[in-house]
Amino acid sequence: MQTTYFLFVGALVLLHFIVTGSATIIVANNQNNTVDLNALLAFKAAIFDPQRIIPTNWSTSTSVCNWIGITCNARHHRVAAIDLSYMGNAGTIPPQLGNLSFLVRFNVMNNSFHGHLPTELSRLRRLKYISLEGNYLTGSLPADIGYFKALVYLNLSNNQYLGGIPSTIGALQDLQELSFERNKLQGLIPDSMKNMLQLRHLDLSFNHLEGEIPNSLQVLSNLQYFNVSYNRLRGPIPHGGPFANFTNLSFLSNEALCGTPWLQPCTSTFEHESRKKRIVMIVLLASGSIILALVISIFLMRLKLRKKILAPTQNLRPMATFERASFHELRQITNGFSESNLLGSGSFGSVYKGIRENGMVWAIKVFDLQLEGAFKSFDRECEILSCLRHRNLTRVITACSNLDFKALVLEYMPNGSLEKWLHVNHHVLSIMQRLDITIDVACGLEYLHYGYSTPIVHCDLKPSNILLDQDMVGHVCDFGIAKLLGDGESVVQTKTLATFGYIAPEYGLEGLVSTSCDVYSFGITLMETFTKRKPKDEMFTEELSLRRWVQDCLPDSVIQVIDVDLLHPEDGLVQKKINCISSVLQLGLSCTTDAPEERINMKEVLRALQKIKLQFIKDITP
């Protein structure tokens, strides 16, 4: 009887502990969820959303884990990711986001956020990924930037940051990718960056940085990409460690840099001062003679002209004749350019996969010099790619050029081309993946047309020229027949034709090239991506083209042209998917009118695609 009594009491105590303990956990979770909710509501109040998606969807009547752009972790149901990229939002980033203690990813790239980055974000010790690229953020970089100890990715490019790079940045010892490109940063490159031993990608281009490149950065053995072009740097370029692999593309438009095979040699301070004194003496002696003064003036003009010719910023051609990756090395890492390493073939050559001793993977585009136009194509790709910097364009790493061999070493894209995913691979791209890829391509084309000082026309856009990286991000490649529209030109004439089926009528008939030609090619690519029909499919004839087929089926019979892999009768979202794809195909038709002046431009295309994506997210969100 006594034993039974103690067992009964023990059970009651245990039950009490379980109930009260569970209640404590529930209360704690509710409090934590309230913290996340309040932080996001503060963010909502700071956002201006012209599409009215955030004000409508971010409702307290549903869990924050179901809000658009919000992802929660499975274990704690806490906010782990905020992704509002490409949504056209404006506003500020409130300090309350610093309370999202489980936040791992924060991405608001390509919006219109302004103001300062709040220092409270430095409390987010789990934060690994920050992308604020393409906004209007101002002020100085936060001095406590080194507190983001867990960061592996930080992109603040294309903003309006001022001041210097804080020395505390060296504390980010796990950081792998860092970009401050296209800001207004000044001062020196911090020596403390030598501590960032995991760094693979460093882009400080298009700023106002001064001083020398620290020699200490030679210890960054993992660094694969380095770019300080278009700054005010001076002095010798480091030549050890990863700098042995960097070409002039990493240092463009820094006239005072020296000490490489493609820049002027470095001279000592003594030699520099001696030269100055000699010039002063000559000028003094010349003061009594008009003829002598004239001779000296001519000499100085020739000296200035000579310096101008030597300056790398005046001529981007050295890249096309400068060999940093030897033929022997490229041959070795591709197993003698064997078919087993062949990634694909294009109009002027073939692309091979090469794996270096350090594990870095390259895509090596070897030009077939027996083909007419191959030399010109190589020079044009060097010229174009040396100028361009955009996440949706393929990146050139270096080049190899001699009399009988020319190759470009490009960033390797492990997921191949969009064409293979549409027509070869057994995997099926979802609607969202296809939307994201086409938005990536539209971003790249918009940059070509409007983001560079001279409009650039790609001239040969098609799925085989759209490559996908490890994250399935789209990159436009193959600039072999691209055209630059200089001196206010909107149209140029060419005899070089692109791929039939994707080529605009005025291009094919008269050789007239403009940015509208790329819009036409994009429209055809858009239709192919969602119908899975090539413009040269055997079903099409002179009377029936891909465009005509889509046009005849819109809007009432659109289901007849949609890729069958995208629609399943048992899916309750079929109609919403049809509505989304119908909007995409209608956009494709707007891109492919016969008259170029009636086509929309790439800015309008990009905005329309982003709007379609946001509406689709809204429609399929419970």
88 dihedral zone (left: phi>0; alpha: psi -120 to 50; beta): left
Closest CA to 356 of 386, 380, 335: 335
Q: Do 432 and 516 lie in a common domain?
A: yes
What residue numbers bound the domain in which 275 lies? 269-310
Predicted confidence (pLDDT) at residue 526 exceeds the cutoff of 80:
yes
Residues 506 and 400 grouped into a single domain:
no
Q: Are residues 227 and 137 in the same domain?
A: yes
307 is in an annotated binding site: no
Kindly state whether residues 106 and 211 are assigned to the same domain.
yes
Label residue 335 by pLDDT band (50, 70, 90): very high
Q: How many domains does the chain have?
A: 4
Residue, of 617 and 461, whose pLDDT is higher: 461
Q: Indicate whether 153 pLDDT > 90.
A: yes
C-alpha 575/C-alpha 559 separation (Å) is 10
**Catalytic: 174?**
no
Shared domain check, 281 and 239: no
d(CA 384, CA 378): 10
Q: Region 267-295: what's the mean pLDDT?
A: 49
% of residues, the chain, pLDDT over 90: 52
Of 386, 411, 436, which closes a domain? Answer: 411
Instruction: Flag whether pLDDT at 537 surpasses 70.
Output: yes
In terms of domains, do 158 and 244 share one? Answer: yes
Q: Which CATH number do you get for residue 402?
A: 3.30.200.20
523, part of any domain:
yes
Is 444 part of any domain?
Answer: yes
Tell whether 540 is covered by a domain.
Answer: yes
Least confident residue range of 95-109, 391-405, 542-556 = 391-405
Q: Is residue 26 part of a domain?
A: no
Lowest model confidence (mean pLDDT) among 100-114, 289-303, 604-618: 289-303
Residue after which a domain boundary falls, among 383, 411, 439: 411
pLDDT digits (tens, 9 = 90+) for 500-514: 899 999 988 888 999
Residue 398, strand partner residues: 409
Does position 298 have pLDDT exceeding 50, yes or no?
no
pLDDT surpasses 50 at 273? no
Q: Confirm whether 151 is domain-assigned.
A: yes
309, pLDDT greater than 60: no
Confirm whether 264 is domain-assigned: no
How many helices and strands, by DSSP H and E, does the chain display? 14, 27
Strand ranges, E, within 471-561: 474-476, 483-484, 492-493, 512-513
Q: Quick one: 557 exposed, middle or buried, by C-beta within 10 A (0-12, 13-18, 19+)? A: exposed
76 shares its domain with 39: yes
Whether 518 and 563 map to the same domain: the answer is yes
Which two structure tokens, joined as six digits, stand for 59? 């409702």
Tell which of 377, 411, 445 closes a domain: 411
The answer to whether residue 376 sits within a structural domain is yes
CATH number at residue 135: 3.80.10.10
Confidence check: pLDDT of 51 > 50: yes
The pLDDT score that the predictor gives to residue 14 is 52
Q: Is residue 150 part of a domain?
A: yes
CATH number at residue 588: 1.10.510.10
Residues 196, 215, 382: CA angle, nearest 5 degrees:
85
Task: Tell whether 324 and 372 lie within a shared domain.
Answer: yes
* One domain for residues 121 and 228: yes
What global pTM score does this model have? Answer: 0.62
Taking the CA atoms of residue 134, residue 136, residue 141 and residue 144 in that order, the dihedral angle to the nearest 10 degrees is: -90
Same domain, 382 and 449: no
Asked whether residue 302 falls in the same domain as residue 400, the answer is no
Q: Catalytic one among 460, 478, 518, 563?
A: 460
| Higher per-residue confidence, 433 vs 300 | 433
Distances (CA, A) of 518 to 442, 459, 594: 10, 6, 13
Other residues' Cβ atoms within 10 Å of the Cβ of residue 500: 9
- Give the model's pLDDT for residue 278: 52
